[in-house]
Structure 1
Amino acid sequence: MLEKSISEAKKVNPDLKTNPVQNLSDYYDFLDSASELIPQNVLENPSNLTRDQILQSICYFYFLIDQPLPELKDKGLFNNSLQYYAPFSSWNRAFVNAWGKFLDTEKSWNQQTYQGFYNDPRFGLQKGWYEPSSNWKTFNEFFSRYLKSVDERPIASPEEPMVVVAPADSVPQGAWTIDKDSNIKVAGGLKVKLTTFYNVDDLLSDDSQYKGAFANGVLTHTFLNVNDYHRYHFAVGGIIKEKQNIAQNVAVEVIWSKKQNKYAPIVSTGWQFTQTRGYVIVDTEKYGLVALIPMGMAQVSSVNFEGSVKPGIAHKKGSMLGNFLFGGSDFVMLFQDKAGFELTARKAKTTVKNANQKSEDIYEHILMGEEYGVMKGMQ
């Protein structure tokens, strides 16, 4: 199946400069180099890439294993591609964990790499937001960098519990109503018994005490790109009731854009239900329970919580929750019915077409601490 996936990828993009892996032998060579790759250059000739080199390095890895395979159709997978097939997914997680260990070494960081990120304004290193760069001895220390002070991300309405703030620098993706059976309906989503429903209880652990707690509520999620600040914070204040880490897939849907000559991730809704993630459930009292679910995406899907994040401990809105390590990431939140949650993040002036060719809003990039939504309570 891996050989078939590589072959299908070659059909989609036959260009050797942007798709150098043409067979299984090439793939093995690619893995040897990828296991100690400093996230910046993925191909032999980086000049062929766009300036999004760090994102391209992630996307290319997954492009090779994200091709649809007939052998995997109707197997109950999110998509019929190799990266969602359990035996390969398990190996893939082991591989990206091995790469993560390399990114914890000083071999993964140098002045040239730092300068490349500094020169790219999207990383914000010229804005004075972050701790001294002398603190970064490894790539992961840079990627999980701290803010210089809390003043760099003011918390909107800190004394107003109804105001929900962005948990991270990210782009909101929208909000979905949860029905009485804890399902959400997603256009173009995974068909389960011919219906495109996902059950939000599947985001929680099998032994969670809070399955069914978010029926009739709202799901929302927001996407972090590789250049974003990758520490996440409490979007609401309250007492932690439950905390878990769940190790599953490390996957990304990827397309090759011939027109743009680059790879692009698909930020859909649904893949989160099979992905490596963590969660904490917070009791806000007046507005009920809120599930905060940092979602790993691609490599390295490392979801880490602060030591102070434990059941029974109260945290204020905006306080540190944890961090991701290398990889794009997503942050899901579940609100109970009694919260009356509404997404208030700024909408962009343009719209996009969904899988049913209906127009959907897209949102502007938001900084951690800015207003994300409002809990209006029971109406």
Structure 2
Amino acid sequence: MRVCFIDRETGKLKVETVAGEKYLKWLYDTNIGKSFLEYVIKKRIFSRLMGLYMDTPLSKKKIPSFINDLSINMSEALDENITSYKNFNEFFIRRLKEEARPIAMDKNKLMSTADGRVLAYDNIDINKVVQVKGIEYTLSELIGDSELANDYNGGACIITRLNPSDYHRFHFPDTGIPRKSKSIKGSLYSVNPLALSKIQKLYCKNQREVAIFQSDNFQEIIMIEVGATCVGTIVQTYEKDKPVLKGDEKGYFKFGGSTTIMFFKKAVVKIDSDLLENTLKGYETKVYMGEAIGTKLVLS
């Protein structure tokens, strides 16, 4: 299964370099692999052990080949010297130079919270939220709150899938105040499109963090971070009830691919047409943190 996405800068279709592609196909396409997935890989203990290894100095040796295999641009990193990282996870959550990710500061523009590949939906049915074509889930299952979910019927949903090669810190899409939050325990399936096409309601099964963000310009937003295979840790670096600025860091994922999801109430944001059109065609769109991805419907 080739994973293709639209490069937003060029408008061209590109084939994604998938880390461990053969391994993923074995896990999700073979009977032996599926058994190993269910009894070992999806368990939190597996990802926790992998995460512990990635925190040790021994893991440093993986950095050069990882950069080379996934064509990572180290000139964007705040610290370009790969020998200065104490372990692989320290490299994986590297900070970037401010100019590498300019923020769309217009208050009427919604910015992407992370680097990644986007699927976007408007006028959503909260009982039939799309995971991938042909697979759906309910918002109440995802966030564990049916009353809150009802407020978002007819609204918008933006899913950003982070590839292991991406910058793995995530940020706030607007000025505002982060309110209540909760952690939901779960499994740790891969979030690669191959896994998403095989595992029903994957996002509802995986470990995830759910937070309410009272945005200044886009009303109340549900912000979700979903864990994945080898993502033993989702770290939140913000303080609840403390005002934040647009682009401020919310947290980061340690080693592995991951996903962020945002839900907006009805008639709040108009998602950029190219993202919606590409999604309808079945393609994700590559975006960068800070990039404009939508517009406030009632301008101010």
- Flag whether TM exceeds 0.5 (same fold): yes
Contact conserved, 1:346 with 1:363, CA < 8 A, in 2? no
Contact conserved, 1:135 with 1:141, CA < 8 A, in 2? no
Give TM-score scaled by structure 2 length. Answer: 0.79
Q: Which amino acid letter does the alignment assign opposite residue 129 of structure 1?
A: A
Counterpart residue number, 1:55: 19
User: 229, 236, 239: which is aligned to 1:309?
Assistant: 239
Mapping 1:63-82, distance limit 5 Å = 63-67=25-29, 82=35
Mapped partners of 2:131, 2:54: distance in 1: 36
Counterpart residue number, 1:13: none
Q: Which amino acid letter does the alignment assign opposite residue 230 of structure 2?
A: Q
Mapping 1:141-180, distance limit 5 Å = 141-148=90-97, 150-156=98-104, 158-160=105-107, 162-179=108-125
Secondary structure of 1:109 counterpart: helix
Contact conserved, 1:299 with 1:327, CA < 8 A, in 2? yes
Counterpart residue number, 1:323: 252
Counterpart residue number, 2:225: 294
Over the matched positions of the two proteins, sequence identity in percent amounts to 23
User: 112, 115, 121: which is aligned to 2:64?
Assistant: 115
1:145-189 residue CA offsets vs partner (Å, 9 max, x unmatched): 1113x2321101x241x311111111112225323x554356654
Contact conserved, 2:176 with 2:215, CA < 8 A, in 1? yes
Residue 175 to residue 124, structure 1, CA distance change in 2 (3 Å): same
Return the offset for 1:116: 2.7
1:343 equivalent to 2:271? Answer yes
Mapped partners of 2:99, 2:191: distance in 1: 36
Residue 309 to residue 184, structure 1, CA distance change in 2 (3 Å): same
User: 276, 282, 294: which is aligned to 2:207?
Assistant: 276
Counterpart residue number, 1:203: 142
What RMSD over aligned residues (CA atoms) do the two structures have, in Å? 3.3
Mapped partners of 1:140, 1:166: distance in 2: 23
1:136 equivalent to 2:85? Answer yes
Counterpart residue number, 1:375: 296
Residue 135 to residue 175, structure 1, CA distance change in 2 (3 Å): farther
Unaligned stretches of 5+ in structure 2? Answer: 1-15
Mapped partners of 1:213, 1:97: distance in 2: 35
Contact conserved, 2:159 with 2:262, CA < 8 A, in 1? yes
Unaligned stretches of 5+ in structure 1? Answer: 1-50, 70-80, 191-196, 255-263, 353-358
Q: Which ranges of 4 or more aligned residues in structure 1 deviate by more than 6 Å?
A: none
1:244 equivalent to 2:182? Answer yes
Contact conserved, 1:177 with 1:217, CA < 8 A, in 2? yes
Residue 117 to residue 95, structure 1, CA distance change in 2 (3 Å): closer
Q: Which amino acid letter does the alignment assign opposite residue 154 of structure 1?
A: P
**RCO higher in structure (CA 8 A, sep ≥6):** 2
Contact conserved, 1:173 with 1:220, CA < 8 A, in 2? yes
Mapping 1:24-63, distance limit 5 Å = 52=17, 55-56=19-20, 59-63=21-25
1:62-102 residue CA offsets vs partner (Å, 9 max, x unmatched): 44443477xxxxxxxxxxx55786xx379722111111111
Q: Which amino acid letter does the alignment assign opposite residue 271 of structure 2?
A: L
Q: Which amino acid letter does the alignment assign opposite residue 239 of structure 2?
A: V
Contact conserved, 2:217 with 2:296, CA < 8 A, in 1? no
The higher radius of gyration belongs to: 1
Give TM-score scaled by structure 1 length. Answer: 0.64
Contact conserved, 1:217 with 1:336, CA < 8 A, in 2? yes
